[in-house]
C-alpha cells in the first residue's frame, strides 16, 4: 500500500471560475469533492476522445429543477450521441417547451391545500395543473398527426415531437439527430396521454422496436462512454445494452444520491458493473454521491471550461 | 400544537414474536421504528378491508436478496390483487424458479476477478453467469412456444411464463390469477432475451397493451391500497394509474432507502403524492426509510401475525 | 473468487419470534438484512465470551425514541461493562427517571407554533419545556449535594446521579457498578446545568479525570468488544481508547444511519478502524446501515432469545 | 398556496465564476442546489451585517480533506468570531501545520495491509503513522511549556498552541484573536496526548472553564449567526449556547450529509431548532444536504465573490 499525491488544502479566491474550483477539489482529492474532480477528468477525456459514442442517462426530476438546459446545451454542442431518459423528464421538457413553467415552492406545506389550489408538488418545485391541460392538447395533436406514420418506435415518435417544439431537450435532440430512448414511456404522464389517445384510436407506438436501434448503436460503437445522471431505468438500460456485444463502456461517470448498501442498481457502484462486463476491466469510472442539482452543473461547467466551449 | 401519547420505552423479552416487537415499536413511536409500526397498522387495515384492491410495487434487487418468497407468499395468501415489478426482479425470480441460486458474497472484492470467475455481483450477492445461460434457454423456448398467441401483452406473457414455472412470484401470480405488470420489461435481462428472440423471429409482445388492463382495474376498484417496496418505475406506475380516475389511493405504505430532498420520485414522500391526487386527501399513508431487507420482513411478519395467517 | 452459501428466500410464518426472523435474514444474507444477522452472530459471541470487556456507545436521540430501556435492561442483565454516552441521552434518561415523559408528535408541523406552546421537538417526538424545569431542580440539587466530594470526575458524578434515581440507564449503571463515561458532557443540557451551577458555586467536576479510568479498563481488559449505537463522540472515544494499548477490539458491531463516503467517523466502516489498529486485523466486525430505532431492538431481541435471557 | 418565482433553467458558459454558477442555481431554485444558493444569500447577509457575532462549527474530517484552509482563510478575512471544532479537525490541523501531509488514497483497499504499512485511513485519505509521532513530540512539548500557566481552559490552551504554529486554523485563530472551543477535546488524538502527559505530570487543563467564555460571548452578542459544517458536538454546542440567553440565532446555514428522519441532531433540520428557541422564529436558516467537500467550497467561494474579498 502506498500513498498518492498529498492533499492540497483548497484556496478559494474571489472570481475563481468553476473550472478552477473543481481543479482545486481535485488537488484536495478527498471524499465526493475528490470524486467530482475525477469525474471531470474522465468526462473531459470521454468528450475529447473522438472514437467514443457518448451516452447520457437522465433520471430523477431534473427538468423541473432547471437542469434540462444543461442537457440540451450538451446536445447542441455535439457532446451527446445517445440519450436515455425517464418519461417524466421528457414530459416536463415538453411542458417547458410549450411555454409553461415550473415554480419555486416549498417542501414544508399542506399538500391537501396544494391539491385544492391545483398545484402539483415535486419536493420544493410547484407545477400548476393547467400545464397538464396544455400538455394534453399538444400530445393528443401529436398522436393524431403522427398516426399515418404508424407503427412508430418511441424513439421516432420522440424525434417527431422534438421537431415540433421550439426548445428543450427533445427539440435539441431532433435538431441534431440525436436519438432519444425512453424505455419506460408508459410510466409517465406522456404514457398516460398515449393511453388516452388509444381509447379512441388505433395504437401507433411500438415500445420494443427501439431495442434494435440501441443495440445497433452499441455494436457499431468503436468505444463507449456514459454520463449517468441519477439511476433508475436510464442507468440500467444504458449499461445493459453493452451486454449483448463483446464490448463494455470504457468511460463512465455516475451522479447519484442513492447508496450502494441497499442493493438497488441506482446506488450500485460502477465497480459492480465491471463484474457483469457492463463496463470494461480497465474502464475509467467514478461515482459521485450527492444531489445532481449541485454536481451536474459543477461537472459540466468545469469540463466545458476545459474544452473552451 | 399538542402532544400525543407518551413514548413507551421498549421492553424486549426472549422469544417475543415479531408482532410483539412491532407493537412495542409502535408504543415507542419515534423515527422510522415508529413509522414501521404505523405502516403495520395501515397495511393490516388495508388487508382487512374487503373493498380494497391491493397493489404491490416491487423495485430494488429484492429477489436476489431473498425477499421474493415474502411476495409470492402474500400472493398465495390472497393479499395481492395487482403486482407491478421491475424486469430485474422477475428475471431473478425466473432464475430461482429454474433451480439456479443466488449466493452469499461480499461487496469488498475485486470485480475484475469476479468477472474472470464469471460471477456477477449485486452488492454482496453473487450470481454465476451460468444462471443466465439457463435463463436464456428457458426464455427463448417460452417466446417460441407463445408465438402463436401473438400479439401478447407483457402481462399475458408473464402469466404464461408463470404458469410454466414450479415456484416463485410469477408462478404464484399465475396460480392465483394475479396480474403482473412490468412497464419497463425492455430494461432487464428478460428484455434483452426478447430482443435476441426478435433477431430471428417476428415480434410477439405489445408493451402498451397493459395500460388498458391496469387502468380498467383502477376504474373498477371500489377503493385502493398500495404497498410500495422501493421506488422506481413500479411506484410511479402504480400511483399515476389513479390519475386518470376520479379516485386515489386510500392506503399507502412505502419502504424506501431514498430521501425526499433529492427531488426524485423514489424518495418522495407520500404527502407529495396527495398534491397530485395520486393518493386521497384523507388517505392513511406512511413512508419507512430504510433497507427493505429489514423493513419488509418485519412489516409482513407483524401483519400476518395480527391476521393469524 | 468463490460463492458462499446460497441465498435462502425468507419464509415468514405467523407468531415467528424475532430470533427466528433474524435467523431467516441471515440465511438470506444480503444487504443490511444480512449484515444485521451477522451483527447478531457477533454480538452473541461477544456476550458469550467471558474474557471480553463489553463497551456500549450510545449516540443519537435514543432515549427520547424509547430505546433507553433496551440499554438499561442490557446493563441489568450483566451485558455491559462500560457505557459511553452523549450528554443528551443521559439528560433525557434523567428526565424520564424523574417521571417526565416524551410524547408522540410529528415532524410536519410549525416549529414556531411549538415554540409558542413550549414544546421542544426531536424529529417526531415532542418534549414539553416543563421537563427541563424539573430537570433543573434535580440537577442543581445534585450538584449542591455532591459539592463536598469535589473534585468529582464526570464518571463518579454520573454514578452518584444514577444512585439517586429510581430507574433508567444511569440508575441501572449505578446499581450494577457499570461506569458511564460522557466525554462531551458540556455539550448537553446537563452541561448547561453545570455551567449554571458554577455561576454561583465553585467548580466540582473534572472532565479529563475519566480518561485514566477508561484507559485503565482498556489496559486491563483481556479482550474487548463494542456495540456502537450511532457514531459521534461515543464511537470514537471507545475506539480510540485502545490506541494507547497494544490491543484492539476483537468484536465490533455498529448500527448507524450515516454513510462512509462523506469521510466522517460516524459513517466510517469498521474496516477503516483496522488501519488505525482500533480493531484487530482478525476482529469480527460488521456495520448495519439503518435507523437504530429498528435495528437495535431487532438485534438485541434476537441475541437475548439466543442466550435465553 | 401560491407559486413563487419561475424555475429558470441553468445556462452554463465556459469560464463562468463560482458566484455566477451559484446565482444560476438560485434562479433554478430546486432541491439542494436551490438550498445552496439560499445558503449563500443567508451567509452573505450574515457576513455583511456588522451587528452579528459569527459562529462556525466544524465537524467531520474536514482538514484531512483539504477544507481546513477555507476555514483559516475565513478567519484571516475577519469572518469568524467564534470557532467550535471537533478535536479531530484540530489534531489534523496541527499535523499539517507541523509540515506533515495527508495523502490521496482509496477506500477500496485492504485495511490490514494499510495497518502493516503503518498508514491510517480516513475514507480515501491516507495518513502515515509517523505524523502522529511528530504530533506527539509537539504536543508533549506544548503541555510542558504551558504547565506554568495552569490551570488553562481548553480555549486558552488552543490559543497558545495556535500562537506557536506557522499556519492553519489554530494559527489563524491565534493571530486574529478568535476563540476556538473544543468541548470534546478528550475525544481525539489531542485528548489522548493530554492523557499521556498527565501520566507523569500534574493536570493543567480545565474542560468546563470554557463554557463561561462561550456563554459570555452569547450574552454580549447583539445578534448571532452560525455556519455549521457537519453536525456532531460543534453544531449542538453552538446552538445550545443561546438557550441560556433570551436570544437565538438570527442566521443559520447548515451543511450536512445526515438526514432528519433518524432523529439525531446532526441531521436535524434548523426548523426543529426553532421549537427549542435555539434559533429565532424569524431567523433566516437553511440546510444543504450533501458532502461538505463540495458544498463548503461552493458556498464560501460564491459568498467571497459577492463580497469581493
pLDDT greater than 90 at residue B183: yes
Cell 457505557 belongs to residue: C83
Cβ within 8 Å of residue B135, ≥6 positions away:
B91, B94, B95, B98, B100, B189, B193
- In whole angstroms, give the CA distance from residue A248 to residue A251: 9
pLDDT, position B1:
77
Average confidence score pLDDT of chain C: 97
Quick check: D30 and B289 CB within 8 A?
Answer: no
The reported pLDDT for the residue numbered D120 is 97
Q: Determine the distance in angstroms separating the CA of C217 from the nearest CA of chain B, rounded to an integer.
A: 29
Neighbours of C244 (CB within 10 A): 17
Alpha carbon distance B301, B294 (integer Å) = 11
pLDDT tens, residue by residue, C254-309: 999 999 999 999 999 999 999 999 999 999 999 999 999 999 999 999 999 999 99
User: Do residues A55 and A223 make contact, with C-beta atoms less than 8 angstroms apart?
Assistant: no
**Residue appearing with cell numbers 407483457:** B154
Consecutive H or E run containing A163: helix A154-163
| Interatomic CA distance for residues A274 and A278, integer angstroms | 6
Q: Is A257 left (phi over 0), alpha (psi -120 to 50) or beta?
A: alpha
Q: C292 vs chain D: nearest CA distance in angstroms? A: 8
**Distance of CA A131 to CAs A126, A134, A194, B266, Å?**
11, 5, 17, 23
Length of chain D: 309
Which three-class secondary structure state does DSSP give residue B50?
coil
> pLDDT at residue A7 above 90?
yes
Of D183, D194, D263, the CB nearest to C60: D263
Is C255 touching B (CB cutoff 8 A)? no
Average pLDDT over residues B139-143: 98
Q: Tell whether A212 lies on the interface with D, counting CB pairs under 8 A.
A: no
Per-residue pLDDT, D14: 87
Yes or no, beta carbons of D30 and A293 under 8 Å apart = yes
Per the CB < 8 A criterion, the answer to whether A54 and A227 are in contact is: yes
pLDDT on residue B173: 98
What average pLDDT score do residues A111-130 get? 97
Whole-angstrom distance, CA of residue A66 vs CA of residue A96: 10
- Grid cell, residue A179, equals 436519438
Within B98-188, residue ranges assigned H as helices are 111-116, 130-146, 154-163, 169-176
Global ipTM: 0.96
Mean pLDDT of A22-49: 98
Neighbours of B99 (CB within 10 A): 10
> How far is A271 from chain C, CA to nearest CA, in Å?
15
Predicted local confidence at residue A147, as pLDDT: 97
- Cell (9 digits) for A66: 432547471
Q: Which chain C residue lies closest to D280 (C-alpha atoms)?
A: C112
Q: Which of D111, D261, D266 is the best mutation test for B, with the most CBs of B within 10 A?
A: D261
In angstroms, rounded to a whole number, what is the distance separating the alpha carbons of residues C60 and C292?
9
* A291 interfacial to chain D (CB closer than 8 Å): yes
Tell me what pLDDT residue C1 has: 77
Q: Work out the number of other CB atoms within 10 angstroms of the CB of residue A15.
A: 13
Counting residues of chain A whose pLDDT is more than 90, the rounded percentage is: 98
Q: Does B261 touch chain C (CB under 8 A)?
A: no
- Using an 8 Å CB-CB cutoff, list chain C residues near B289: 291
Question: Mind telling me the catalytic residues of B?
Answer: 278
- The values of phi and psi at residue A226, to 5°, are -135, 135
Residues of chain D found within 8 Å of residue B261, distances taken between Cβ atoms: 31-32, 35, 289
| Stretch B37-46: mean pLDDT | 98
Instruction: Tell me how many residue pairs between chain B and chain D have CB atoms under 8 A apart.
Output: 20
Q: Are strands C82-85 and C180-181 parallel, antiparallel or unpaired?
A: parallel
Q: What DSSP assignment string belongs to A37-94?
A: HHHHHHHHHHHH-TTEEEEEEE-SS-TTTT-HHHHHHHHHTT--SEEEE-HHHHHHHH
Which residues of A form the catalytic set?
Answer: 278
Instruction: Say if B195 is an interface residue toward chain A (CB within 8 Å).
Output: yes
**B31 → chain C, closest CA residue:** C124
- Check residue C189 and give its pLDDT: 97
Q: Spell out which residues of chain A touch residue D122, defining contact as CB-CB under 8 Å.
A: 30
pLDDT of residue B234: 97
The helix/strand/coil state of B107 is coil
Q: What is the pLDDT of residue D207?
A: 85
Q: Does the pLDDT value for residue B207 go beyond 90? A: no
Strand segments, DSSP code E, in C21-81 are: 52-58
Closest CA to C177 of C208, C148, C217: C217
Residue (of B250, B289, B291) closest to B43 by Cα position: B250
Per the CATH hierarchy, to which homologous superfamily does domain B51-291 belong? Answer: Deoxyhypusine synthase (3.40.910.10)
Residue with cell 408504543: B27
Domain ranges of chain A: 18-307
Q: What does the pLDDT look like over C142-176, one tens digit per residue?
A: 999 999 999 999 999 999 999 999 999 999 999 99
pLDDT above 80: residue A234: yes
Is residue A219 within 8 Å of residue B215, measured between CB atoms?
A: no
The pLDDT of residue B31 is above 80: yes
pLDDT at C197: 97
- Residues near A148 by beta carbon (within 8 Å), at least 6 away in sequence: none
Q: Which residues contact B220 (CB under 8 A, 6 or more apart)?
A: none
DSSP H or E stretch at residue D289: strand D279-289
Residue position matching grid coordinates 445493459: A240
Considering only the beta carbons, identify the residue of C7, C10, C271 that sits closest to B101: C7
C262 and A30 in contact by Cβ < 8 A?
no
Is residue B248 within 8 A of residue B219, CB to CB? The reply is: no
* B274/A189 touch (CB, cutoff 8 Å), yes or no: no
What are the CA-CA distances from residue B308 to residues B13, B48, B77, B173 (Å)?
Answer: 21, 12, 11, 22
A 10 A CB-CB count for B3 gives 17
- Of A10, A36, A300, Cβ closest to residue D12: A300
Residues C15 and B307: their CA atoms lie apart, in Å, by 10
- Cross-chain residue pair C25–B297, CB shorter than 8 Å: yes
Residue C308 backbone class (left: φ over 0; alpha: ψ -120 to 50; beta: rest): left
Instruction: Quote the crossing angle between the two packed helices C292-307 and B292-307, to the nearest 10°.
Output: 70
Alpha carbon distance A40, A47 (integer Å):
10
Which position has the grid cell 444477522? Answer: C37
CATH class of A18-307: alpha beta
Beta-strand (E) ranges in B10-143?
Answer: 52-58, 82-85, 103-104, 119-122, 125-128
Per-residue pLDDT tens digits for C189-230: 999 999 999 999 999 999 899 999 999 999 999 999 999 999
Nearest to B257 among A210, A262, A268 (CB): A262
SS3 D280: strand
- Taking alpha carbons only, the member of C92, C27, C105, C307 closest to residue B12 is C307
pLDDT band at residue B154 using 50, 70 and 90 as cut-offs:
very high
DSSP state of C10: P
Mean pLDDT by groups of 10 residues along chain D of 309 residues: 95 96 98 98 98 98 98 98 98 98 96 97 98 98 97 97 98 98 97 96 93 94 97 96 93 96 94 96 97 98 97
- Residue D1 has a pLDDT of 77
- Residue the block writes with cell 449563500: D40
Torsion angle in degrees (nearest 10) through CA of C113, C117, C122, C127:
-170
What is the 3-state composition of chain C as percent helix, strand, coil, each rounded to the nearest 5? 50, 20, 30
Which chain B residues are Cβ-neighbours of A211 within 8 angstroms? 186, 191-192, 194-195, 198
Average pLDDT over residues B170-193: 97
Best CATH choice for the domain D52-100+131-293 from the list 3.90.330.10, 3.40.50.970, 3.40.910.10, 3.40.50.300: 3.40.910.10
**Closest-CA residue in chain B for A207?**
B207
Residue A207 is predicted with a pLDDT of: 85
Burial (Cβ within 10 Å: 0-12, 13-18, ≥19) of residue B114: buried
User: Are the Cβ atoms of A16 and D101 closer than 8 angstroms?
Assistant: no
Q: Is the peptide bond before C151 cis (omega within 30 degrees of 0)?
A: yes
Is pTM beyond 0.95 here? Answer: yes
Sign, CA torsion A108/A110/A113/A117: positive
- Asked if the model's pLDDT at residue B290 lies above 80, the reply is yes
For A40, A60, D258, D289, the CA distances from A255, given in Å and listed in that order, are 11, 11, 18, 15
A31 touches chain C (CB under 8 A): yes
Which residues fall within 8 angstroms of residue D283, CB to CB, at 6 or more apart?
A: D248, D249, D250, D251, D252, D270, D274
Assess D262–B contact: CB distance below 8 Å, yes or no: yes
Q: What is the pLDDT of residue D238?
A: 97
Amino acid at each position: 500500500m502506498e500513498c498518492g499525491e498529498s492533499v492540497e488544502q483548497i484556496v478559494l479566491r474571489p472570481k475563481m471560475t468553476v473550472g478552477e474550483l473543481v481543479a482545486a477539489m481535485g488537488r484536495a482529492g478527498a471524499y465526493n469533492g475528490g470524486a467530482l474532480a475525477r469525474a471531470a477528468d474522465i468526462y473531459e477525456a470521454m468528450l475529447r476522445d473522438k472514437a467514443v459514442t457518448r451516452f447520457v442517462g437522465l433520471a430523477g426530476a431534473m427538468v423541473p429543477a432547471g437542469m434540462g438546459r444543461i442537457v440540451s446545451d450538451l446536445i447542441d454542442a455535439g457532446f451527446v450521441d445517445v440519450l436515455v431518459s425517464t418519461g417524466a423528464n421528457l414530459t416536463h421538457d415538453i411542458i417547458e417547451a410549450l411555454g409553461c413553467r415550473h415554480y419555486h415552492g416549498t417542501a414544508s406545506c399542506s399538500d391537501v391545500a396544494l391539491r385544492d389550489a391545483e398545484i402539483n408538488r415535486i419536493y420544493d418545485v410547484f407545477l400548476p395543473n393547467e400545464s397538464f391541460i396544455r400538455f394534453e392538447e399538444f400530445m393528443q395533436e401529436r398522436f393524431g398527426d403522427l398516426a399515418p406514420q404508424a407503427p412508430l418506435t418511441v424513439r421516432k415518435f420522440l424525434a417527431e415531437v422534438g421537431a415540433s417544439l421550439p426548445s428543450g431537450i427533445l427539440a435539441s435532440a431532433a435538431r441534431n439527430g440525436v436519438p432519444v430512448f425512453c424505455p419506460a414511456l408508459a410510466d409517465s404522464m406522456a404514457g398516460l396521454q398515449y393511453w388516452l389517445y388509444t381509447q379512441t384510436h388505433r395504437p401507433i407506438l411500438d415500445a420494443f422496436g427501439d431495442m434494435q436501434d440501441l443495440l445497433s448503436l452499441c455494436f457499431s460503437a468503436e468505444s463507449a462512454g456514459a454520463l449517468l445522471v441519477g439511476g433508475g431505468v436510464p442507468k440500467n438500460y444504458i449499461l445493459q445494452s453493452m451486454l449483448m456485444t463483446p464490448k463494455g463502456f470504457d468511460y463512465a461517470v455516475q451522479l447519484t444520491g442513492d447508496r450502494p448498501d441497499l442493493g438497488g442498481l441506482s446506488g450500485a457502484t460502477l465497480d459492480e458493473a465491471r463484474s457483469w462486463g457492463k463496463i470494461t476491466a480497465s474502464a475509467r469510472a467514478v461515482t459521485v454521491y450527492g444531489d445532481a442539482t449541485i454536481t451536474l452543473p459543477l461537472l459540466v461547467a468545469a469540463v466545458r471550461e476545459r474544452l473552451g466551449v
